[in-house]
Amino acid sequence: MSEHIRVLLTEEEVDDRIQAIGEQVSRDYAGKQVHLVCVLKGGSFFMCELAKRITVPVSLDFMAVSSYGATTKSSGVVKIVKDLDETIKGKDVLVVEDIVDSGRTLSYLLEMLKSREPASLRLCTLLDKPDRRVVPVDVDYTGFQIPDEFVVGYGLDYAQRYRNLPYIGVVEFDD
């Protein structure tokens, strides 16, 4: 079976929105240092672009969790594959994610991070699929709300491919 990609959000639309979020984050964290926690691998493209547009002091760290295999369906299993290098205790932490789908990954992750006593903990996601939510998650910054379709690009993959697309597209299968 082959597939093709239909553009959902252009590179310009995504860049403009990230610029706006960067400005909002800079205002909200005025006088503070924001500690960005990137959820690998999907959040990495978004985090780099966002970090470049934040004007308050920034530090960053990475963690990796797995909830999906090579399919497009959630297994419901969340596993920490790589933990943070540094402590977040007392820091103003902003978790940067590619997408909130069922909410399972983020609700688990946020509870876990909260127990490490950061000064504050917020969530920023490039994409949100509210129709798919199974577990409630408080999102502080959202790039775009999108319909229930499987998307790729800007860090998001389908079977590890398409992360490098500079736009967001929907995977469509040809028969």
Residues that bind ligand IMP (CB under 6 A): 42, 67-68, 74, 97-106, 150-152, 156
At its nearest, how many Å lie between Mg ion and the CB of residue 174? Answer: 26
Nearer residue to ligand IMP within complex by CB, 20 or 134:
134
Binding site for Mg ion (CB under 5 A): 42, 98
Q: Which does 103 bind (CB under 5 to 8 A by kind): ligand IMP, Mg ion, none?
A: ligand IMP
Residue number closest to Mg ion, CB atom = 42
Which is it for the CA torsion 35, 96, 121, 84, positive or negative? negative
Query: Which of 61, 83, 92, 101 does the annotation list as catalytic?
Result: 101
Give CA–CA dist 53/21, Å, rounded.
Answer: 8
What lies within 8 Å, CB to CB, of 97 at 6+ separation is 39, 42, 43, 46, 105, 106, 123, 124, 125, 126
| Helix intervals (H) in the chain | 11-28, 44-52, 104-114
Distance CA 157, CA 162 (A): 5
17 or 132, CB closer to ligand IMP?
A: 132
Active site residue 148: no
CA distance 102 to 128: 10
Query: What is the closest distance, in whole angstroms, from the C-beta atom of residue 39 to Mg ion in the complex?
Result: 5
In the complex, the smallest distance separating the C-beta of residue 39 from ligand IMP, rounded to whole angstroms, is 6
Q: Which is nearer to Mg ion, 64 or 170 (CB)?
A: 64
Residues with a known catalytic role: 101
